[in-house]
Amino acid sequence: MTEPSSSSHQEIFQESPSASPSEDATIAPRMKSKDLPELDEAQPPEYTIMDEFQSLTPLREYQMDEQALLAESIPDRPLIGPLVPLAMLREEYERGSQGFVRQIDWLMSHGHIGIRRTKGDGDCFYRSLAFAYCERIMHAPDAELAVMSAISSIEATPALLEAAGFQPLVFEDFYEMFLSLVRKILAPDENGKVLTPAALLGAFNDPETSNSIVVYLRMLTSAQIRSDPDISNFLLSPETAEFVEPRVFCEHFVEAMGKEADHPQMQALAQALRVHVSVAYLDGHSSGQNGDEVTFVHLDKAVGTVPGAEPVMLLYRPGHYDILDTRSEDPMDYYT
Amino acid sequence: MAVSSRRLQKELAEIQKQGTPVGITLLSADDFQTWLFSVEVLGETVYAGEVFALMFRFDGQYPIQPPAVQFLVDEKYTSPVHPHVYSNGHICASILGNEWSPVLSVVAVCVTIQSMLASCKKKERPPDNDRYVRHAPDNPKKTQFVYHDDTGIS
């Protein structure tokens, strides 16, 4: 990609719509990132003044070119939704891309009949993975073993973060939030209650809990990328498609909220959490191997996973991740 | 206790224990709403002899969302003349907006802003300073700056 459009020095004053756009666009130094004394070349500031304080994560509609995907940007969509039949997603594409319809039919005929939709706020990969990870532990044939194994994996992560240079101060609250949620799957809390599936869904729709877990997974992803040469030697900037330093990549595309995940982030997080992740790629046209309609990307190289454990299943459409399921709705007792 | 107060309490304890980096001094942190630091640039700098005050305002979203950070402008302090600092004290810096990350702390922000001043070669205001200051909201977080390294996001 080229330099951003330097001549479009536009300001949008919601409070005074008559303000005319400035015409000058002289090059001025710009601040880059944390702890960086040097400055990059850049343009003068541009801004929009908001009447209401909005989310810091503008939706990336340029990536959401499929009509149905725009539904993800509805502000009141829950962070993680209820399980619904995949047929509902099919309906949204029936008047649009037949390629998507064909791929959805293929998924349904192969047992993937449910979808749990995640808000399209740029954190959808991390939030989807976290929820599916917890739910998979909860429903494991041997839940006790699954919880113990998850706790031991999670308890190994602060050392990784410290090795990457993160102060405990900045991650420990988020770490404890994540760990305590996983513990509650089996261990009763102070009220003698263990985490029910409904409470898990509730926790992931509580912004403070949900975002804290997303923050921790972002930091963990960053730490893993920085420490793993198999990943850190092959990082491309999503903006320029050129090789970038791990530190720059992590600061710009991993640690900040709302920055979407691509393959390196997925690979790193699967490794750090020791979990297998399978992602079904829905793009409306390409096919997988053996004449399959859908390509699955398997992140299954993670060391130390529980043998035989079911992978976490995600559904990818350009610019967005949801959770894929072999059930089409939450069980009847889910919300009791 | 909310995540934000818990985190700020830890940061404050760390500042009281470890002190602050050279050129940065805690002026006040009486609650978990507003903190004030003095910032000066040491060594060879266009800001020699000048001392500025950085004001942090926190809401319950910190540190998942950034604090509102600006230079204090009152009878005692002024805003540094810098291409990305407006005369009302507002700062255009991506780490205070869409590149904010909870890995940053209050002290890390102070250091970054200090570095931004330290590398300035020529004292000048942003070209649109006057108009921005006329329309600017009280809270700089209500301004959505456009950062030029982020193509496609505005």
CB contact under 8 A, A34 and B104: yes
Query: Rounded to a whole number, what is the distance in Å from the CA of A89 to chain B's nearest CA?
Result: 27
Report which of residues A188 and A90 the model is more confident about. A90
Task: Compare CB distances from A4 to B105, B135, B151 and report the shortest one's residue.
Answer: B151
Residue A76 a catalytic site member: no
pLDDT of A11 higher than 50: no
> Which band of pLDDT confidence, cut at 50, 70 and 90, is reported for residue A288?
low
A267: CATH: 1.20.1300.20
Q: Which pLDDT score is estimated for A191?
A: 84
Q: What is the C-alpha to C-alpha distance for residues B55 and A73, in angstroms, rounded to an integer? A: 34
- Record: contact A45-B84, CB cut-off 8 A: yes
Within chain B, how many helices (H) and strands (E) appear? 3, 5
Q: Measured between beta carbons, which residues in chain A are less than 8 angstroms from residue B2?
A: 208
Q: Is residue B146 part of a domain?
A: no
The DSSP annotation for A7-20 comes to S----EESS-TTPP
**B51 assigned to some structural domain:** yes
For residues A283 and A286, give the distance between their C-alpha atoms in angstroms, rounded to a whole number: 7
Catalytic residues of B: 92
Per the structure, the complete domain to which residue A60 belongs is given by: 43-325
Whether residue A200 is contained in a domain is answered as yes
* ipTM computed for the complex: 0.86
Q: Is B55 exposed, middle or buried (0-12, 13-18, 19+ CB in 10 A)?
A: buried
User: Residues 171-210, chain A: which have Cβ within 8 Å of B?
Assistant: 171, 173-174, 177, 208
B148/A54 CB distance under 8 A: no
Q: Is the dihedral of CA B19, B21, B26, B30 positive or negative?
A: negative
A56-65, A203-212, B82-91, range with the lowest pLDDT = A56-65
Whether the per-residue pLDDT at A29 is higher than 70: the answer is: no
List chain B residues with CB under 8 Å of A170: 63, 102-105
Interface A:B, Cβ pairs < 8 A: 175
Q: Any idea which residue has 């130390």 for tokens?
A: A304
- The confidence score (pLDDT) of residue A10 equals 34
Catalytic residue status for A320: yes
Alpha carbon A41 to chain centroid, angstroms: 31
- Helix spans in A119-196 (H): 124-138, 143-155, 157-163, 168-183
For residue range B48-72, list pLDDT tens digits in order.
999 999 999 999 999 999 999 999 9
Within a domain: A266: yes
A257:B100 CB<8 A:
yes
Is the confidence at residue A154, as pLDDT, over 80? Answer: yes
Ranges A17-26, A180-189, A325-334, most confident: A180-189
Strands A312-317 and A320-325: antiparallel
Distance between A11 CA and the closest CA of chain B, angstroms: 9
Enumerate the residues of chain A whose CB falls inside 8 A of the CB of residue B3. Answer: 173, 177, 208, 212
> Residue B23 is part of which domain span?
3-136
Question: What pLDDT, on the 0 to 100 scale, is given for residue A332?
Answer: 67
Annotated catalytic residue, options A123, A320, A322, A325: A320
pLDDT of residue B74: 96
Number of other CB atoms surrounding residue A241 within 10 Å? 9
Alpha helices in B68-122 (DSSP H): 106-118
In the structure, what pLDDT confidence band is assigned to residue A309 with cuts at 50, 70 and 90? confident
| pLDDT at position A22 | 36
Helix boundaries (H) for A233-298: 246-253, 263-273
Which residue out of A123, A124, A134, A325 is catalytically annotated? A124
Q: Do B149 and A53 touch (CB under 8 A)?
A: no
Which of B29, B6, B10 lies closest to B18 in space, CA to CA?
A: B10
DSSP 8-state code for residue B43: S
Share of chain A above pLDDT 90, in %: 55
A262 HSE (CA, 13 A, CB side) = 14
3 state SS of A214: helix
**Minimum Cα–Cα distance from A10: chain B residue:** B146
DSSP assignment letter at A56: S
Distance CA B110, CA B73 (A): 17
Contacts of A239 in chain B (CB under 8 A): 149-152
Please return the burial class of B4, using the count of CB atoms within 10 Å of its CB with bins 0-12, 13-18 and 19+: buried
Mean pLDDT of A138-147: 90
Taking Cα atoms as reference points, which of A314, A212, A167, A118 lies closest to residue B107? Answer: A167
Residue B74 lies in a domain: yes
Nearest to B87 by CA among B75, B97, B72: B72
Q: Is A54–B144 a contact, with Cβ atoms under 8 angstroms apart?
A: yes
Q: Residue B153: how many CB atoms within 10 A of its CB?
A: 18
Residue B94 placed within a domain:
yes
Per-residue pLDDT at A331 exceeds 70? yes
Look up residue B90 and give its DSSP letter: B
Cα of first residue to Cα of last residue in chain A, in angstroms, is: 51
What is chain B's length?
154
pLDDT at A271: 93
In chain A, residues 234-273 whose CB comes closer than 8 Å to chain B: 239, 251-252, 255-258
| Chain B contact probe: residue of A56, A175, A211, A214 with most B CBs at under 10 A | A56
Residue A195 within a domain:
yes
Contacts of B148 in chain A (CB under 8 A): 4, 6, 30, 42-43, 46
- Calculate ∠ Cα A326-A330-A335, nearest 5°: 160
């802003």: which residue's tokens?
Answer: B113
**Catalytic status, residue A250:** no
pLDDT tens digits for range A212-251: 999 999 999 999 999 998 898 889 988 888 999 999 999 9
Q: On the CB side of B16, how many CA atoms lie within 13 Å of its CA?
A: 8
CB contact under 8 A, B115 and A255: no
CA B126 to chain CA centroid, nearest Å:
16
CATH assignment at residue B73 = 3.10.110.10
Q: Which tens digits make up the pLDDT trace of A49-105?
A: 654 433 333 333 333 334 444 545 556 789 999 999 999 999 999 988 889 999 999
The alpha helices in chain A, defined as continuous H runs, are: 86-93, 98-109, 124-138, 143-155, 157-163, 168-183, 197-205, 207-227, 229-232, 246-253, 263-273
The predicted pLDDT at position B148 comes to: 59
Number of domains in chain B: 1
Check the CA dihedral A257-A261-A265-A270 and report its sign: positive
Q: Is residue B145 part of a domain?
A: no
- At residue A302, the pLDDT reads 75
CB proximity A121 to B under 8 Å: no
* Residue A69 resides in a domain: yes
Number of structural domains, chain A?
Answer: 1
Residues 6+ apart with CB under 8 A from B92: A31, A45, A47, B84, B85, B86, B126, B145, B147
The answer as to whether A17 is a domain residue is no
| A317 DSSP β-pair partners | A320
Set of chain A residues whose Cβ sits within 8 Å of the Cβ of B136: 49
